[in-house]
Amino acid sequence: SIPTAGHVIAAYAIGVVVGAPVIAALGARTGRKRLLLGLMAMFVVGNVLSAVASSYEMLMAARFLTGVPHGAFFGIGAVVGASMVPANRRAWAVSMIMVGLPVANIIGVPLTTLLGQGLGWQAPFLAVGGLGLLTLVAVWFWVTPQPVGSETNVRSELSALARPQVWMALLVGMVGFGGMFATYSYITPTMTELAGFSTAAVTIVLATYGVGMTCGTLIGGRLADRALMPSLYGGLIAVTVVLGVFGWMANTKPTALIAVFLMGGSASILIPALQTRLMDVAHEGQSLAASLNHSTLNIANALGAWLGSLVLAAGYGYEWPSRVGAALAVAGLIFAVISGLMDRRTAKSGDNQVIA
């Protein structure tokens, strides 16, 4: 049933939220390559267990297990990727890792849907597990070992939580992306009720969103390498504008598709900038901070969907969740500007100490 499917999805999301910080902190003394291999192995096992689950409870547990390595894998993977390139290409390296997520939406979701329809619901889990196995092999052969520093431990990773700028970056991501999720959570009824798409044609809408995300992630990496904080400000301004006009653009099919593409693109510009920003301000706790970003995005998903549901429950139409989203994006921009001002104050304080 639909509610049961929702519970299974929620179990995975809870696994992401819980697993990302716990694994990143407890795995501080483990080499990052070895940790990536272990995380991907857990992902493979979780998908296989999902495919062979003989009860609802077993499936829920398997999906939770599968979600546990998700955030830590992408967070630590971003740190590893950034360490393999010159400093002026770190955000680009992060974007190349993160772009896998929208590509999976464009290609993976339709293919696994077809597999499920043709071969049963277990087939997609086995297919994803097989891809995870290929990823494990790729990490084994192509990721260079990274020795653990003598001062790296659980305490050094947890030190990131004592840094106000880490919390500011997480807050920017939670609120800023919450705006996008307030809209995306109701994209299907918005497209069918306002734009007039058939339910079957919503697949085209989702693919358009995925293409926008792919373009935005790649562009965001380039922009963040040139000027990280300005790219963050610009991305949040773009999200605000796009969501602000989304309700009007969603009333015809052509403009709705343009709006969906722009929503995916503008929001995704933020991804490389936020991930790189977290690594910059976390200092010794890079793995934990980068992993927490993915926990935060899941919280943003829940926050945006909840706020969007409030305006719908109050009797407003499907034009309104995007307007709530625009307000959230403005809040994210305010937090980003405050974070930038904190940087300037810290730099000025350091200059004064040098002069003194």
Please state, in angstroms and rounded to a whole number, the distance separating the CA atoms of residues 247 and 37: 44
Cα–Cα dist 176/170, whole Å: 10
d(CA 157, CA 323): 38
Question: For the segment 53-68, what is each residue's pLDDT rounded down to a tens digit?
Answer: 988 889 999 999 999 9
Identify the segments of the chain with pLDDT beneath 70. 1-7, 148-153, 349-356
Is the four-CA dihedral 190, 192, 197, 199 of positive or negative sign? positive
pLDDT at 4: 59
CA distance 29 to 151: 9
**What pLDDT was estimated at residue 32?**
85
Would you state the pLDDT for residue 140? 93
Q: 3-state DSSP call for residue 321?
A: helix
Whole-prediction pTM value? 0.85
The domain defined by 2-144+152-351 carries CATH number 3.30.230.70: no
Distance CA 22, CA 35 (A): 13
> CA neighbours within 13 Å on the CB side: how many for 206?
20
Q: What is the DSSP string of 213-242?
A: HHHHHHHHHHHHHH-HHHHHHHHHHHHHHH
pLDDT at position 149: 64
Tens digit of each residue's pLDDT (9 = 90 or more) over 278-336: 989 988 888 888 888 888 888 888 888 889 999 999 999 999 999 999 999 999 999 99
Residue 143: helix, strand or coil by DSSP? coil
Give the closest residue to 177 by CA, choosing from 79, 264, 287, 262: 264
Domain limits, the chain: 2-144+152-351
